[in-house]
Structure 1
Amino acid sequence: MRVTLKQLAYFIALAEEGNFGRAAARVHVTQPALSMQIRELEQALNAPLVERRPRDIRLTRVGREVLARARRILSETEELEAAARRQGLLGRLNLGVIPTVAPYLLPPVLGALRDSGITRDLRVREAQTAQLLAALDAGQLDAVVIARPTPAPDRAILPLFTDRFLLAGSATGLRGLAQVSEHLRPVALDPEQLLLLDEGHCLADQALEVCAIDRRQTRIDLGASSLSTLCGLVAQGFGLTFLPEIALRSEEAAAPDMRVLRFAAPEPARDIALVRRAKTTDDGWFAALAELISGAAAGLLDHARRVCPPAT
């Protein structure tokens, strides 16, 4: 006969209550059931643990030793269970992030992970949406941060935040538009003035969608250029580009000559979400990670809305 955790828990209750009836009530079983478990524990240890008296009990010498060990065992068990519940935030996580989010969101997210005391072996892959979803489906990534994910039965999705688009350019390039900013719409922009990322970047596709134009109408195709490159160019007067709010803090520091305007409501925006496979074991890590990412994004969004306030 093996000692069980239930027996140890019942024995602790009995030792602390000093009475079979009160101990049974504490652990929500009948008194005979508790008494049977204590007897089985004594048989397993081949030693009496309590002296049974009419109204109460007394621990034997062996009983006192078993009580101390039982408390340590159950304490370790509780810590083990808690660690298992936190495992999603303690073990390795393979995370994919789209390029127009990663450089802006990852630094504060990593800071939040550090400040929260969570130790994580975080592996990050930065790639376009189609590549990230393929890696997710193949089991190479545990979760991805992407824009506008398409609902699917084999994926679990948690919305993170809404990232509005600003119009970025030089002071000269935006001067005429600033005069009509209260009525500024993406569809009113001159397609030949727009600088966009290469095909496959969801930000470029979304910009074209809200402007209701074809990529072939744009003046410059910059290939695999980054959003930072676009901001540097428009700051020097080479056209205009769409800038997500989360990118403003970093890009205005890198391109101090850049200026931004806010579109009239309803503002063009993208919805950023955290996605995992539906069958992936979720012991709480998915929601916890989503909360960290959303919290990190909030600071970036607040900054953008202070620098370039929405219309009231």
Structure 2
Amino acid sequence: MLRLTIRQMQYFEGLAQALHFGRAAAAMGVTQPALSAQIAEMESQLGFPLFERGAGRVRLTEEALTLKPRIERILAEVQDLESFARRERKVLEGRFRLGIIPTIAPYLLPELLPRLKQGFPGLQLEVREAVTGTLIEETDNGRLDGMIAADPIVEPRLAYQSLFEDAFHLAVPEAEAERIAPPVAQESMALERLMLLEDGHCMRGQALAVCGMVKPVTMESFGATSLTTLLQMVSHGMGVTLIPEMARKTAALLPGLRILPFAAPGPSRTICLAWRRSNPRQADLAALCGIVKEANQAIT
């Protein structure tokens, strides 16, 4: 009978992340021989190797890659159980790992973080910025407690709460603003010069949806990795780009840039907080929803 222990699975997860026995052992506060012995016992019980060892490098085997998401989900459930057992703690106290997408983080965090620090001094917040797909995976497997992103969040194992609507505007070069008569229609030919974020960013798909019948041609061969880069390119006359309401005040400070409204009903995105359905920290998540809404109101 297979008798894997929680400790063995934790050691497996640590080594799978570090890919180095020494660093993994140090991160987990154990000796390298102790870590190696537990991994070896785990491999013996499973009947196949989990790691390729050689020349100081460690790689996961094909079997380990298949096993990894299952172990991560098991450990996430264990963590949820531990959180439930400590349910008498105060709201938003202790460790909370929050993911947030790059087109929200730079604009929301400067207002959100001070509010959380002042209102919840016992909170140990860890922030992870990544694209939506990565955050969904890491929330599902338990590496994150929650994530802030734009709808849609397509994962049946996650629940989510809509927080607020974030309207879109069009950022254009100052020299061209007079030729693009606001409010801008979604069929405007100005959108042919729309510059997009790289694949993987949800705002790329949202920008394409805004364009209606107009096909962007400016950025067919490459895209930017951040909205800040796109805005710099717009300010130098290289094209136009979509900008969310929460970034409007920051963008307005850039020279050579003009922010134009869209014709009503204007396009927007729905910002959500998502979490694993099994996550017992419902009071924490509810409180976080309220604080995020307050932070957004302060910046828009």
Spell out, residue by residue over 1:195-242, the C-alpha distance to the aligned partner (whole angstroms, 9 max, x if none).
111111111110101213687734455434310111111112211100
In structure 2, the CA distance between the partners of 1:289 and 1:133, relative to structure 1 (3 Å rule), is same
Q: Secondary structure at the match of 2:148?
A: strand
Aligned with 2:99 (options 96, 99, 108):
96
Q: Separation in 2 of the partners of 1:169 and 1:85?
A: 52
Q: Which has the higher helix share?
A: 1
For the 8 Å contact 2:189–2:214, the answer to whether it is kept is no
Of 146, 153, 166, the match for 2:149: 146
- Structure 1 position 149, deviation (Å): 2.9
Rounded Cα–Cα distance in structure 1 between residues aligned with 2:122 and 2:223: 38
Which moved further from structure 2: 133-142 or 108-117? 108-117
Structure 1 residues 152, 220: CA separation in 2 closer, same or farther (over 3 Å shift)?
A: closer
- Post-superposition Cα deviations, 1:102-151, rounded to whole Å, max 9, x if no partner, equal 11111111011123243321111111111110111111111010101346
TM-score after normalising by structure 2? 0.66
Tell me, in whole angstroms, the C-alpha distance in 2 between the residues paired with 1:88 and 1:215.
Answer: 48
Q: Any gaps of 5 or more consecutive residues in structure 1?
A: 1-82, 302-312
C-alpha RMSD of matched pairs (Å): 2.1
SS of 2:180's equivalent? helix
Cα 1:131–1:216 shift into 2, 3 Å: same
Q: Following superposition of structure 1 onto structure 2, how do residues 164-175 of structure 1 map, counting pairs within 5 Å?
A: 164-175=167-178
2:116 counterpart of 1:113? yes
Partner-residue secondary structure (3-state), 2:127: strand
Native 8 Å contact 2:246 2:299 kept in 1: yes
Instruction: Give 1:194's aligned residue.
Output: 194
> Within the alignment, does 1:248 sit opposite 2:248 as a pair?
yes
2:297 equivalent to 1:294: no
Task: Give me the identity figure in percent.
Answer: 38
Q: Is the aligned partner of 1:122 residue 2:125? A: yes
Q: Is the 8 A contact 2:188 2:214 kept in 1?
A: no
Partner residue in 2 for 1:18: none
- Secondary structure of residue in 1 paired with 2:242: strand
User: What is the match of residue 228 of structure 1?
Assistant: 228
Residues 64-120 of structure 1: CA distance to partner in whole angstroms, max 9, x if unpaired? xxxxxxxxxxxxxxxxxxx94554501111111011001111111101112324332
Structure 1 contact 88–286 (Cα < 8 Å) conserved: no
- Alignment-derived partner of residue 161 in structure 1: 164
Cα 1:152/1:195, change in 2 over 3 Å: closer
Q: Give the distance between the partners of 1:85 and 1:249, measured in 2 at CA.
A: 41
Task: State how many pairs are aligned.
Answer: 215
Which stretches in structure 2 are left out of the alignment for 5+ residues? 1-85
Q: Does the 8 Å CA contact 1:192/1:219 hold for their aligned counterparts?
A: no
Residues in 2 aligned to 1:220 and 1:111: alpha-carbon distance in whole angstroms: 40
Deviation at 1:170, TM superposition (A): 1.7
Aligned position for 1:11: none
C-alpha change, 1:221 and 1:104, in structure 2 (3 Å) is: farther
1:205 and 2:179 correspond: no
Amino acid at match of 1:280: N
- Answer with 1 or 2: which has the greater Rg: 1
Q: Partners in 2 of 1:200 and 1:138 — Cα distance?
A: 19
TM-aligned CA distance change 1:84 to 1:280, over 3 Å: closer
Q: Using the TM superposition, give the Cα deviation of residue 161 of structure 1 relative to its aligned residue in structure 2, in angstroms.
A: 0.9
Q: How far apart in 2 are the matches of 1:222 and 1:147?
A: 23
Q: Describe the SS at the equivalent of 1:256.
A: coil
**Contact (CA 8 Å) 1:113, 1:119: kept in 2 or not?**
no
The question of 1:266 aligning with 2:265 is answered yes
Give the Å deviation of 1:251: 2.5
Letter of the structure 2 residue corresponding to residue 241 of structure 1: T
* Kept after mapping to 1: 8 A contact 2:192/2:214: no
Larger mean Cα displacement after TM superposition, 103-112 or 205-214: 205-214
The AA in structure 2 aligned to 1:243 is: I
1:191 CA drift (Å) = 4.4
How many Å separate the matches in 2 of 1:283 and 1:147? 20
Take 2:261 and 2:117, find their aligned partners in 1: how far apart are those partners? 34
SS at 1:187 equivalent: coil
AA aligned opposite 1:129: T
TM-score by length of 1: 0.64
Deviations 1:164-216 (A, max 9, x none): 111001222221113xx24x222223444111111111111101012136877
Structure 1 residues 200 and 250, CA, compared in 2 at 3 Å: closer, same or farther?
A: same
Q: For 1:196, what is the secondary structure of its paired residue?
A: coil
